[in-house]
Amino acid sequence: MLYGGSLTLTALCRYPGVFAAGVDLAGPTDYAQTTHNWTIRVLNLPYMDPEAYRVSSPIQHLESLRDPLLIVHGLRDNNVLYQQTALLVQRLIELEKIFDVMVYPAGGHGIETEKSRFDNIRRVTAFFELHLLKR
């Protein structure tokens, strides 16, 4: 899914309480930190429309996050750099939010090895079971 992780994070922040939980899988958190052509086509260049980047970037809206969040990212991601997740985690710590993080050292933008995929499915399933079944 295009924008899956970013869309999840945005939905959790903009509509707190609507969702029981969400998983951000390698989602961009600050669009001003990306250089993808599709981002530029939609939002223009950051210096030309900084407000579009501010409004569109989930990291700008974390204050309202109150639902459980699992962040998953591969350290070798060359599409959405892990730096974005590091900034997200730091901001969540500063805001004293509760969240979970799973990092895959050999992972890129996806979960690539069979053992890592199995681990990811197990963790995501356990996360949703915990937060969906208690509702």
**CA-CA distance, 111 to 33, in Å (whole number)?**
22
Going along the chain from its start, the domains and CATH numbers come out as 4-133 (3.40.50.1820)
Closest Cα partner for 127 from 10, 2, 24? 24
Residue 4 pLDDT: 84
Strands 69-74 and 100-104: parallel
Residue entry with tokens 């922040």:
13
Residue 38 pLDDT: 75
Residue 15 pLDDT: 96
Residue 1 pLDDT: 43
Strand ranges in 22-99 using DSSP code E only, listed in sequence order: 22-25, 69-74
pTM here is 0.90
- Note down pLDDT in tens along the chain; length 135 residues: 456 888 999 999 999 999 999 999 999 898 888 767 778 788 888 888 888 878 888 999 999 999 999 999 999 999 899 999 999 999 999 999 999 999 999 999 888 899 999 999 999 999 999 999 976
Structure tokens at 61: 């809206």
H-type helices in 16-56, by residue range?
37-43, 50-56
Residue 135 pLDDT: 62
Contact between 132 and 21 (Cβ < 8 Å): yes
CB atoms within 10 A of CB 135: 6
